[in-house]
Structure 1
């Protein structure tokens, strides 16, 4: 939005050109999202409390969580509002990736909103059934996948990049990319959703991974850097740098209120949409495998649920004291802040390993 105004102002003073630079817009997008979150945070929490929109705790969950009952939830609305608002201000409206990501946020945020609404309405930890949620996510993932592979204005390569190897790629083709994108989007959305069980546990990894994806987007969108680092040059992905910066700002703004002890939870409206946004960004910059590596905490949480359910159905016994994995550590007596910070540290390490792939190839 501001790009049009800035272009007009440059007619009077060339100094306004600096506001069109990618790095400047990224910084401003991050600050704008952070400012919106911090400014609206207390107002938003107060309104949620006024309308008694509070978290419903699983009756079979850790005992320490019972005190969290009634804590305002659906904070993902605040994240998406600050995120979308920021990229609408500082983003390039002519870049179709911006609109793809906005639609992704709205579709998966909408699914999460319905799930949260049903939980609150019926005072139950059960919202949408797993089949209903999976069907809705599948429809959303197919819509976004079709948009990505059929975007003739800004087409993305269909080869799957293998990190840490110089010239090793796997040709997927258009249909293969569509199928692969479907699993990446649905998988990432559910993985972040499963991880969102402790104060600040999910949002900080989202911020860290967004920062890494921003670096890959910047490199891919710059001919000199991409050529030097032997990465595919995709000029339109440069705008993803601004989008990731806005996501970081929105995430940090939410963490201000979500850090232990949390004043607000993001709810499914936040976790489902954030997971899908990360997936779409990773697909656009062709770093899906690195998303899997960087999101190792999300992967571990998801696998713990799959293993627990599968093993219990087979043997009527449990491998973990409770799934997802963070609840297992709680049951072992580990304090919530210690679990949270250690999971953050693991994500930080995995992000650094992924960033090392830029030169190790």
Structure 2
């Protein structure tokens, strides 16, 4: 759990028993606490924010690198929502998980975070990125992504069992209703939550900048909420790092996009949101902040009634008009999505739809902030 910091004078010392436990081995490799380098408490939050800001230029440089590399390798997608059908480098969203893992490691090295918390976060994000990269290259069936991202949540459960009270707190805080201690249900629901956040984020990236911009809004709102209610340094760092990493990618992904995230970016970013909800105890607020994603997934599944890839659909939810505007599809087989509902009865430019989606995120973010304040009262 990110709020608690555990110090141990035995950090990094090899286990002296003949048969060291898994916990002792992990502690030897990474150190289960932060005694080697400790920051004065007054500087912890400031240091967390300053280091997290570094993730913006790192993400920016890495995105540019993936754009050039993937373009040379022919990893290209077609922007179907534009008349010119430009060819855009795919899988550039890999810059975000790489940045998150690099900066999390750096944060631990300067003594600013609980190494077990950072390990849990990095394993979740890294494994989701691997699932996304495999899907980008092999084009897996739709059912596999929810199942594989379910496994991505196991590191949090495993490390939570090995290190009680350092990874998650099984007490769920609900505004107006108080706290509910769920020692069995909570850890079991962790992988499910990460699978849900991964795939709902993956499903709401149809237009230029929607995923990166939406995640930036969510992260900013939850970061502000934590700073107001309970500024735990590790939680502040991880949310700020996600915010600036997403903004670095957004610079190239915004309309008109010069880089696409791919499943590697979408799934890993969604997994990061799910992991942070657990690690920072912002579960309910995260649900509220991600309402546009949840709404979009509900629309899609209520119509299609199964997990499937968009490329496998026989009809698309939108159609491109001769003047470059997007309109709602008239095909009865077309899936229902958030974008399609915004276009009902009124065609619009892509940039206008993106702005409308961002407005929905801002409303949800404001409600999430209110939720966090109510919980901490």
TM-score (normalizing by structure 1) = 0.78
Does the Cα contact within 8 Å between 1:330 and 1:336 map onto a contact in 2?
Answer: no
In the other structure, the counterpart of 1:110 is 130
> Which of 175, 178, 181 is the aligned partner of 1:171?
181
> Which of 33, 37, 46 is the aligned partner of 1:24?
46
CA RMSD for the aligned pairs?
A: 3.2
Once the two structures are superposed, the pairs formed by residues 37-76 of structure 1 within 5 Å of their partners are: 37-55=59-77, 64=81, 67-68=84-85, 70-76=87-93
Once the two structures are superposed, the pairs formed by residues 32-181 of structure 1 within 5 Å of their partners are: 32-55=54-77, 64=81, 67-68=84-85, 70-91=87-108, 92=112, 94-118=114-138, 127-152=139-164, 154-163=166-175, 165=176, 168-173=178-183, 175-181=184-190
2: distance between equivalents of 1:337 and 1:273? Answer: 25
Q: Are residues 252 and 318 of structure 1, via their aligned partners in 2, closer, same or farther at CA, if it must alter by over 3 Å?
A: same
Q: Are residues 82 and 141 of structure 1, via their aligned partners in 2, closer, same or farther at CA, if it must alter by over 3 Å?
A: closer
2: distance between equivalents of 1:220 and 1:155? Answer: 20
Q: Secondary structure at the match of 1:198?
A: coil
Q: Secondary structure at the match of 2:76?
A: coil
Does the Cα contact within 8 Å between 1:149 and 1:177 map onto a contact in 2?
Answer: no
Q: Secondary structure at the match of 2:270?
A: helix
Higher helix share: 1
1: distance between equivalents of 2:83 and 2:340? Answer: 14
1: distance between equivalents of 2:279 and 2:41? Answer: 25
Q: Are residues 155 and 24 of structure 1, via their aligned partners in 2, closer, same or farther at CA, if it must alter by over 3 Å?
A: closer
Q: Deviation per CA, 1:83-107: give whole Å up to 9, x if none.
A: 2222222343543111111111110
Aligned residue pairs, count: 318
Does the Cα contact within 8 Å between 1:188 and 1:276 map onto a contact in 2?
Answer: yes
The unaligned stretches of length 5 or more in structure 2 are 1-29, 307-329
Does the Cα contact within 8 Å between 2:198 and 2:269 map onto a contact in 1?
Answer: yes
2: distance between equivalents of 1:320 and 1:162? Answer: 39
In the other structure, the counterpart of 2:282 is 287
Q: Are residues 203 and 148 of structure 1, via their aligned partners in 2, closer, same or farther at CA, if it must alter by over 3 Å?
A: farther
Q: Secondary structure at the match of 1:71?
A: strand
Q: Are residues 260 and 209 of structure 1, via their aligned partners in 2, closer, same or farther at CA, if it must alter by over 3 Å?
A: same
In the other structure, the counterpart of 1:213 is 222
2: distance between equivalents of 1:89 and 1:302? Answer: 35
